[in-house]
Amino acid sequence: MKSTFLRVFLVVLLSNTVVVSIGLTIVEFVQKHNQVSADLLGDIGVQLVAGYEKFGLAALKEEAEKAEKRLSGSIYLYQENGKPLLKPLPKNFRETDGADSSAELGKAGARPRADGRPSADFLHSQFIQVIGANNVQYLLIFRPNPEIDSLAPGLVIALSLLGLLVSSGVLAYWLLGPLLKLQRVARLFGQGDMSARVEDKLARRSDAVGKLAQEFNEMAVRIETLLSSKERLMRDVSHELRTPLARMEVALTIAEDKHGLETQKSYLCRIRTELHELDELIGQVLTLSRLEAAALSKETVHLQEWLDEIVADVSFESQLKGISVTKSGDLPKTLLGDPLQLRHAIENVLRNACFYAGEGGVIEVATEEKEGNALIYVRDNGPGVPEEKLEKIFHAFYRSSEAREANSGGFGVGLTISKRIIHAHKGCIEAKNRPQGGLEVCFKIPLV
């Protein structure tokens, strides 16, 4: 059965069959439970008739009451001329014939229903013909108590609903269980766990779900291979570029030592500047490639003292621009992480905030502890970022057009490095515009 449709169809069919079978079995059981065997009724009829013919009507009534209690029903006994020896039946088997009949029925245990509905009918009654002495014929009618009958519909409905719930639960688990497992693996893979794979037991299934699991695993292997190749290429190219850059730096130094025209010196200075920028870019690319491997050296960091040092360093660098960098908050006290990498992440965002805040800018660093996470906020009073570009600022080599036109410098890698470092610590980083103006970047890092 390789067709998922066929499997689902068979499961639903089996579930409905089980429910119907349970219902029919209960109905049949209740009906059999309420029915008294014909042999037993025949024996009781013979005993009643024999007692009546030998001891009279009083003995008959006494024996009939005992039999009614034992059988949980009402017994009616008629002579062949139609005369009732015990209490008479209601006129039409649906109504009682007055107060006297109601009283008689109540004594016998076949009480009329308070809502006026029939207490019994021919479907629930049993008829036995009894032959007395001298071949005199009698008719015995047995009617079970209506209280027993009233239990059957409710019991059948309750058990049927229970069967439907159980079968629906089995069906839902069979269908959704594998999909939920696949969803969890896909989430892990999307969060950067390149080793996440669907378990072999699920991938070996021969239906559509199994095929989907197999294709997911194949896709994951291809993506992991491609990313590994890309990272290896970036590392190799970056390392190879460092060698000619070093030679160019030496050549520039020799050229500057030679006496040349002032215009030549200005060109050489410009070349050196561009070389330094290219070397910085290569260094950042190498940092990105190393972060992909998440090679962290975690230790306990005294967060507040550690942040004070970072804020002091950035304040010193920005003092000539009149930028004020302040810190608030005293929680959490400690954090488990790589202090060097986390320092790079915080400094990249802080320097970015200082640049966009401009002359006389105000930068605020705030901390708090919430739901087992350390939250570090970096807020500035700069121009902010257009809403549609908030997510893109963390992409590698992305800069807004405004930044490019302003000749802001940098390569659009700093925020990407910060994001990779925070993700390597199982945290996240988000940016949003402040209502009063400026940008707020929030670092969320688990404490354990």
User: Helix-strand-coil percent breakdown of the chain, rounded to 5?
Assistant: 60, 15, 25
Query: For residues 323 and 350, what is the distance between their CA atoms, to the nearest angstrom?
Result: 11
Q: Phi/psi at 324 (nearest 5 deg)?
A: -100, 125
Q: Which tokens belong to 439?
A: 């940008």
Rg (CA), the chain: 46
DSSP 134: G
Distances (CA, A) of 250 to 20, 241, 244, 265, 271: 90, 15, 10, 15, 12
Query: For residues 81 and 137, what is the distance between their CA atoms, to the nearest angstrom?
Result: 9
Cβ 440 vs Cβ 311: under 8 Å: no
Please give the pLDDT value at position 31: 59
Cβ 299 vs Cβ 336: under 8 Å: yes
Name which of 406, 398, 348, 358 is nearest 378 in CA terms. 348
**For residue 213, what are the contacts with CB-CB under 8 A and spacing of at least 6?**
178, 182, 198, 202, 203, 205
Q: Which tokens belong to 376?
A: 């570090």
Cβ 345 vs Cβ 443: under 8 Å: yes
Please give the pLDDT value at position 405: 38
DSSP 94: S
Please give the pLDDT value at position 222: 92
Beta bridge partners of 429: 443
The one-letter amino acid at 210: G
Q: Which tokens belong to 127?
A: 């008829």
Please give the pLDDT value at position 153: 59
- pLDDT by position in tens, the chain (length 448): 456 666 666 776 677 777 777 766 776 666 565 567 788 888 998 999 899 888 888 889 999 999 988 888 889 999 888 889 988 876 655 444 333 443 343 333 344 444 443 344 555 688 889 998 888 899 998 887 765 444 455 666 677 677 767 777 777 777 778 888 998 999 888 877 888 999 998 888 888 888 999 999 999 999 988 878 877 777 777 777 777 788 788 877 877 776 666 777 777 887 888 788 788 777 777 777 666 544 678 899 999 999 999 999 999 989 889 999 999 999 999 999 999 889 999 999 999 999 888 889 999 999 999 999 999 999 999 999 999 889 889 887 676 545 433 444 555 688 988 998 998 898 999 999 999 999 999 999 999 7
Query: For residues 127 and 145, what is the distance between their CA atoms, to the nearest angstrom?
Result: 16
Cβ 367 vs Cβ 342: under 8 Å: no
**Structural domains of the chain, with CATH:** 35-144 (3.30.450), 208-292 (1.10.287.130), 299-446 (3.30.565.10)
Q: Phi/psi at 207 (nearest 5 deg)?
A: -100, -170
Distances (CA, A) of 290 to 158, 227, 235, 293, 296: 63, 13, 8, 6, 10
Query: For residues 7 and 10, what is the distance between their CA atoms, to the nearest angstrom?
Result: 5
